[in-house]
Structure 1
Amino acid sequence: MYIDNPAASAVVSGKEQYIMSTINRTIIEIHALETTAAGNLNRDDTGSPKTVEYGGVTRARVSSQAWKRPTRELFKELVDPNDLGVRTKRVVEELASRILERRGDLGEDQATDLAETVLQGGAGIKLEKPRKKKGDETDDDRAKQSQYLLFLGNRQYGQLADIAIEAADTENPTKTIKGDKKRIKQIVSNDRSIDVALFGRMVADDTNLNVDACAQVAHAISVQTVEPESDFFTAVDDNQRNGGEDEAGDAGAAMMGQIEFNAATFYRYANVDANRLQDRLGDVNATAKAVSAFAQAFLTSVPQGKINTFGQNVLPDLIVVNLRDTQAVNLVGAFERPVVPDYVQHATEALVRRQQDLDKAYGITPVKTWVVRIGDDTAAADALVDGKTTSLRDLVADVERTVADRLTQE
């Protein structure tokens, strides 16, 4: 077994015994401190930035879903799109389009019928007509949709399209497809798409098609107390002429309103269980690539909420990535007591103390640690790597090599 730090695998006793019994795992955990200026990255149903009460005070919060979305979008630039999935309710349209790409002579109506039969009659996914807009009395010829967002891989769509095309040339396509249920369900359940494996899939109609997520993403919370502020804005009509009879008393504001925002230093956390991911993907190199791509995408992605208004295009002040062979550990407890200015400096110091204290108390010293940092305020993190910090590019490449090496030797 590949070990960088033999002390991490030392035999211990008492309360540490259970934890150490899980050795031989390969888990990558990602911690980041990221400072944003004024912004509304993730808003609630009232339009206000999301918050959470933690440590007895109000913190800014960005939900895990809000950060998973841009992370998945970046995958398209980092891995082969064929290895990714599509999450949509318009599954019939998606499959019908794949059928038409292969057999344009079938026609749109026939392709749609075949897609519905494969998904509902073969895979057992319940479909329904999409809801009409209020007051719409026209005939609805739109294709049926799943009752929930369905996450299905591009390769799976291709294989299902092939089955539909095979059935199209038989005397009774519907009967042929329903007689092939076992193969269809196998195709869906054996989905090896990277993002499906990382983020999981829930199919209410058939739990056998569910996929447990190999990655966990926490809600990002601010390390300090944060109270939202409000920005009152106006917009001017470029063609308006001041002083007209219809515009008396109007100085030119044709629209006005307000937007709530905040500014904070966020603690972000995620982890990937590389062993479970390999079980799902079935290939060491594909797994290592998926882990490194997830790390890069998670660390460089930014939620898009109100981005044109606030331009929150930032990168982390500090990145700490640990490879553990025991269990993943969220270090959010470092900030149960809100830090005070300077936020990045004091948050870095708190994060380092938390990791060192947990490693010592529970015998879970990481097998390997990488640190990427900028500025003097993050200098305390050097203690985690004896001053040997790295760049994000080198971190991503080394994580991929190290994960591949460990999984090959386990």
Structure 2
Amino acid sequence: MPNPRLFVDVHVLQTVPPANLNRDDQGNPKEAYFGGVRRSRVSSQAWKRATRMHFTERMAADDLATRTRRFSGDLADRLRQRAGLPEESANRLADALVTALGITPGKKQGDTAYLFFYGHRQVDAVAALVAERAVELVALSDKELRKSVEELDVQKHFRSGHPLDIALFGRMVADIPALRVDAATQVAHALSTHAVELEFDYFTAVDDRVESDKETGAGMIGTIGFNSATLYRYATVGLHQLRHNLRNDETGADHDEAAVRGVAEFVTSFARSVPSGYKNSFAHRTLPSLVAVVVRGDQPVNLVSAFEEPIAASSGIAARSAQQLAREHTTSVDTWGDVPSWAGACHSFDPESEAGAELAGAFGTPVSFPGLLSALHEHLTGRVAADGAVGAGR
């Protein structure tokens, strides 16, 4: 069945109060120069992790993945539970399986030499592969155990049927090409739509047990760097790649509907997540003022060029940013002639305002966020069904 290219672009405007979402090596908020001025920046890695962590609040644990050095230890725990092996035997069998997989063991028992991103169902499948023979296997010598385990195709359980977070964000294993997964998602560094200046919060921690008038009560003093910004955030999901990553070669289960649901899950978590840096100090969690989604068959299009000329630091930065974004989208479509197959948006601006009118012209009549997800799901389901019909007719 054909799997034509289809990209789902997500454009977000979000205003964040004083915060330090993503710190640099000096402990200050990350920054970048763009359009000749200093901007607030949040790295793509920080927002991807925040998105992944948001998944864990809404999805069953078996449908998720873990990235850790403790893969061998996790596998040993599953072997103890499934086969009733004592700890030493479970560790020995787990190490043999990890070696057969091609992953270099770490220096510490239960560790691998590098972080490994694996699905919970995938590690369960490996444990099930040897559970019935576990007692027999651990009775073998090291050489015989290694030979017996190498005859099992351990890697097959990590080549397909990936959980959503691996299917979206990919997996890089430099020395084992068979275990690599090309990411279906690209996430840009978030940038402020305007110039920012780094500020510092001078704070003191008061000693509750001051016992004389001669003591000041300040048990500690310090500073935290911060800024505040209206951020433009962008990500894109390749639905064709997501469909490929979610397929299961073992079960042959339908992955198309899972891919469509996965796009909605990503849009939800990307829009609603916020990096947690200094969250207790700043309580910076906000919701976006705009989420626009564009479905394209040509290529992903990041609209950050809308803000190459920074929005002037005056009232209404968010609204003016929304206007600039709408104009950039319209200009891009008019200039290149690449008309999206679908576009939609939800936002908090007055529909009768200039920003509301320009957003409607660019992305259509605004809807609620649940309405946006529903319409997106309907469109993608129709596209996938049409692809299947074309394939069946060939």
Is the 8 Å Cα contact of residues 163 and 177 (structure 1) preserved in structure 2?
A: no
Cα shift at 1:385: 3.6
Residue 189, structure 1, aligned to residue 159, structure 2: yes
2: CA distance, partners of 1:77 / 1:339: 36
Residue 159, structure 1, aligned to residue 138, structure 2: no
Which of these residues, 77, 88, 107, is aligned with residue 57 of structure 2?
A: 77
- Matched residue, 1:381: 359
Structure 1: gaps of 5 or more residues: 1-22, 131-142
Cα shift at 1:151: 0.3
Cα shift at 1:258: 0.4
- Matched residue, 2:250: none
Q: Which residue identity lines up with residue 93 of structure 1 in the other structure? A: G
Which of these residues, 265, 274, 288, is aligned with residue 230 of structure 2?
A: 265
Q: Deviations over 1:387-409 (max 9, x none)?
A: x2111112122222322221122
- Matched residue, 1:370: 344
- Matched residue, 1:409: 386
Q: Structure 1 vs Structure 2: percent identity of aligned residues?
A: 37
Q: Deviations over 1:203-228 (max 9, x none)?
A: 12212211110000000000000111
Distance 1:277-1:256 versus aligned 2 partners, 3 A rule: same
Is the 8 Å Cα contact of residues 321 and 371 (structure 1) preserved in structure 2?
A: yes
2: CA distance, partners of 1:178 / 1:370: 56
**Secondary structure of 1:146 counterpart:** coil
1: CA distance, partners of 2:222 / 2:212: 21
Aligned residues: 368
- Matched residue, 1:146: 112
- Matched residue, 2:259: 287
Structure 2: gaps of 5 or more residues: 248-254, 388-394
Q: Which residue identity lines up with residue 293 of structure 1 in the other structure? A: E
Residue 112, structure 1, aligned to residue 86, structure 2: no
Residue 210, structure 1, aligned to residue 210, structure 2: no
Is the 8 Å Cα contact of residues 4 and 240 (structure 2) preserved in structure 1?
A: no
Q: Deviations over 1:258-303 (max 9, x none)?
A: 0010000000000100011111112111111111000000000010
**Secondary structure of 1:402 counterpart:** helix
Cα shift at 1:110: 1.3
Q: Which residue identity lines up with residue 212 of structure 2 in the other structure? A: N
**Secondary structure of 2:244 counterpart:** helix
Residue 274, structure 1, aligned to residue 239, structure 2: yes
- Matched residue, 2:252: none
**Secondary structure of 2:153 counterpart:** helix
1: CA distance, partners of 2:147 / 2:256: 35
- Matched residue, 2:217: 252
Residue 229, structure 1, aligned to residue 237, structure 2: no
2: CA distance, partners of 1:261 / 1:111: 48
Q: Which residue identity lines up with residue 320 of structure 1 in the other structure? A: A
Q: Deviations over 1:62-92 (max 9, x none)?
A: 0011111121111123333322211001111
2: CA distance, partners of 1:331 / 1:385: 13
Q: Deviations over 1:165-194 (max 9, x none)?
A: 244232528535644445101112224211
Q: Which residue identity lines up with residue 146 of structure 1 in the other structure? A: T
Is the 8 Å Cα contact of residues 275 and 407 (structure 1) preserved in structure 2?
A: no
Residue 172, structure 1, aligned to residue 140, structure 2: yes
Is the 8 Å Cα contact of residues 79 and 293 (structure 1) preserved in structure 2?
A: no
Q: Which residue identity lines up with residue 269 of structure 2 in the other structure? A: A
Is the 8 Å Cα contact of residues 26 and 403 (structure 1) preserved in structure 2?
A: no
- Matched residue, 2:190: 220
Is the 8 Å Cα contact of residues 97 and 149 (structure 2) preserved in structure 1?
A: no
2: CA distance, partners of 1:400 / 1:194: 16
Q: Give TM-score scaled by structure 2 length.
A: 0.89
